[in-house]
């Protein structure tokens, strides 16, 4: 499913107008859809009190069209207009039907709105939609309306809130929300969902999302490069599992990592690759670690590497690893390496050899090794970088706040700079390709904020590359299946207490459920 910015949505609407769909028709389709969704939300309409908060622009126009239909269908509709509309054409049908209309100029302190909200079962928020960019002042008319609505939602029997396109005060591009924004139970959005709906904090207040087709030409939508990962897409992308397969069918993964301090990291990555379906996984780690790990994952093959006195991989191990790479479809390196001078030398030497694989995942301390030196070898196009915000900040020489303020733009810029696929981890993980393709995870889950979760993800991506997926598709599928598994565990665990190996163990069940639809 494609996602758009506010500017892209306006361009798509203009494309629809150019194709022969009038602006009035777009508004009529939108308003009718809102009314229908309101009906389904309440179940019956006869005598049910519905408040429509209609702003001065097109979003308010959608609300007025919805109000007209709801009046015709028997609802008790009260329309509140905080700011005077420039065009009152859409008000005329409500006047003709003798529907109740209250203007904000007649209710400066919101007392009338308070009385309207008393006993209301549904409020339709059609105040500002996607056009809001500046802060909402609590003393201005729209601010007063939101404050009154917020108070009503704290009551004994609060009304349901249906947002038109977006809850008022939500930034359609960044997901930022105004302090006065009131959460919605249902958001009815038009044409295509907006980027900000799937970024925190907006993702936590939009409720259920219903996307309404209002006649945007399909060819115009094709130019949009941002996709929302979905279960349907994952089902279509999961590698085939033919009955006559053998382990060679599903590829070999080489995991390079581990140190005396981080013994478990390569094991978690290897388990992620196995659980994702890879046929064979080899763990290349400092020789003293082999005995510590092998009992926990006897299914793996082990390649002992020369170690430093500190228990990290020695720089001289690069030659053995480069010779080994040719036999593998994918490599995952970085989990638990630690960022030392020998590690940096090793990582830089390995980068030149990655073209021999179908793709490679560069994770954790391998990323820190890249960031540690100003001069670095070219990163191959088949690589997948998987930084969390701190690692991304070090790679780009910016602050974590800079990264988090513009996650989508940062991931795209990094992918273009390094010429490969970049996975910016975190709430609503972003996957960006060097050619501009970008995908956004629909999930934000604190349960996944646990040590080792990223190691499992890196292994999963490596496992999907080994099974024949291109790096960008493998990264997207890894991110989606990792997050979807976290969602299923959240139902069981709540928001805390997950161990990373439990995530890997649960993955096959999630795959089975998604394949079954």
Mind listing the pLDDT tens digit for each residue in 151-188?
A: 999 988 999 999 999 999 999 999 999 999 999 999 99
Query: Average pLDDT for residues 31-43, to the nearest whole number?
Result: 97
Q: Where in the chain is the domain with CATH 3.40.1190.20?
A: 231-235+249-516
- Assign 375 a pLDDT band (cuts: 50, 70, 90): confident
Residue carrying structure tokens 């996607």? 130
From residue 476, give the alpha-carbon distance in Å to each of 199, 336, 440, 473, 502. 17, 23, 8, 5, 21
From residue 76, give the alpha-carbon distance in Å to each of 55, 99, 423, 482. 20, 8, 50, 46
When the pLDDT of each residue in the chain is averaged and rounded to a whole number, the result is 94
Give the span between the Cα atoms of 465 and 463, in whole angstroms: 5
Share of the chain above pLDDT 90, in %: 85
Q: Where in the chain is the domain with CATH 3.40.50.10260?
A: 6-224
Q: Is the pLDDT of residue 373 over 80?
A: no
Q: Is the pLDDT of residue 326 over 90?
A: no
Residue carrying structure tokens 């991110």? 479
Q: Is the pLDDT of residue 354 over 90?
A: no
Contact 257, 265 (CB under 8 A): yes
Give the span between the Cα atoms of 362 and 383, in whole angstroms: 7
CB proximity list for 92: less than 8 A, separation 6 or greater: none
Contact 359, 477 (CB under 8 A): no
Give the span between the Cα atoms of 512 and 232, in whole angstroms: 13
> Any idea which fold 231-235+249-516 has?
3.40.1190
Query: What pLDDT does residue 288 have?
Result: 95
CATH 3.40.50.10260 assigned to 6-224: yes
- Assign 192 a pLDDT band (cuts: 50, 70, 90): very high
**pLDDT tens figures, 398-433:** 999 999 999 999 999 999 999 999 999 999 999 999
Q: Is the pLDDT of residue 376 over 80?
A: no
What is the CA angle 424-428-433, rounded to 5?
A: 40
Select from 430, 466, 427 the least CA-distant residue to 270. Answer: 466
Structure-token pair, residue 129: 């939609």
């Amino acid at each position: 499913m494609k996602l758009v910015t506010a500017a892209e949505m306006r361009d798509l609407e203009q494309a629809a107008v150019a194709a022969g769909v009038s602006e009035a028709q777009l508004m009529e389709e939108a308003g009718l859809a809102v009314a229908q969704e309101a009906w389904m939300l309440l179940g019956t309409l006869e005598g049910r009190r519905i408040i429509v908060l209609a702003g001065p622009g097109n979003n308010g126009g959608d609300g007025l069209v919805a109000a007209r239909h709801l009046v015709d269908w028997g609802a008790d509709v009260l329309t509140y207009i905080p700011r005077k509309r420039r065009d009152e054409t859409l008000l005329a049908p409500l006047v003709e039907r003798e529907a109740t209309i209250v203007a904000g100029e007649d209710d400066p302190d919101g007392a009338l709105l308070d009385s309207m909200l008393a006993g209301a079962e549904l409020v339709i928020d059609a105040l500002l939609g996607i056009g809001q960019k500046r802060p909402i002042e609590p003393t201005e008319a729209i601010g007063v309306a939101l404050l009154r609505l917020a108070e009503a939602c704290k009551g004994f029997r609060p009304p349901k809130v249906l947002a038109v396109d977006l809850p008022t005060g939500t930034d359609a591009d960044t997901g930022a929300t105004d302090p006065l924004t009131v959460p919605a139970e249902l958001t009815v959005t038009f044409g295509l969902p907006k980027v900000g709906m799937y970024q925190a904090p907006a993702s936590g207040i939009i409720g259920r999302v219903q996307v309404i087709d209002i006649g945007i030409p399909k060819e115009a939508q094709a130019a949009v490069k941002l996709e929302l990962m979905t279960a349907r897409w994952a089902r279509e992308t999961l590698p085939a599992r033919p009955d006559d397969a053998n382990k060679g069918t599903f590829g070999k993964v080489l995991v390079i990592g581990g140190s005396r301090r981080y013994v478990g990291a390569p094991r978690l990555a290897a388990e992620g690759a196995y659980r994702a379906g890879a046929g064979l996984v080899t763990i290349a780690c400092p020789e003293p670690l082999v005995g510590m790990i092998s009992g926990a994952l006897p299914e793996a093959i082990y390649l002992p590497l020369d170690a430093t006195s500190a228990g990290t991989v020695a720089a001289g191990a690069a030659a053995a690893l480069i010779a080994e790479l040719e036999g593998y479809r994918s490599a995952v390196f970085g989990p638990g390496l630690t960022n030392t001078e020998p590690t940096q030398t090793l990582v830089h030497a390995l980068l030149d050899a990655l073209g021999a694989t179908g793709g490679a995942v560069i994770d954790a301390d391998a990323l820190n090794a890249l960031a540690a030196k100003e001069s670095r070898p070219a990163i191959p196009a088949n690589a997948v970088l998987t930084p969390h915000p701190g690692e991304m900040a070090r790679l780009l020489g910016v602050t974590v706040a800079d990264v988090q303020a513009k996650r989508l733009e940062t991931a795209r810029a990094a992918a273009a700079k390094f010429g490969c696929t970049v996975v910016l981890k975190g709430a609503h993980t972003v996957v960006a390709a060097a050619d501009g393709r970008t995908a956004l995870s629909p999930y934000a889950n604190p349960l996944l904020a646990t040590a080792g979760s990223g190691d499992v993800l890196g292994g999963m991506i490596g496992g999907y590359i080994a099974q024949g997926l291109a790096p960008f598709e493998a990264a997207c599928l890894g991110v989606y299946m990792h997050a979807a598994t976290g969602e299923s565990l959240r139902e069981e665990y709540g928001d805390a207490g997950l161990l990373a190996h439990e995530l890997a163990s649960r993955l096959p069940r999630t795959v089975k459920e998604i394949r079954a639809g």
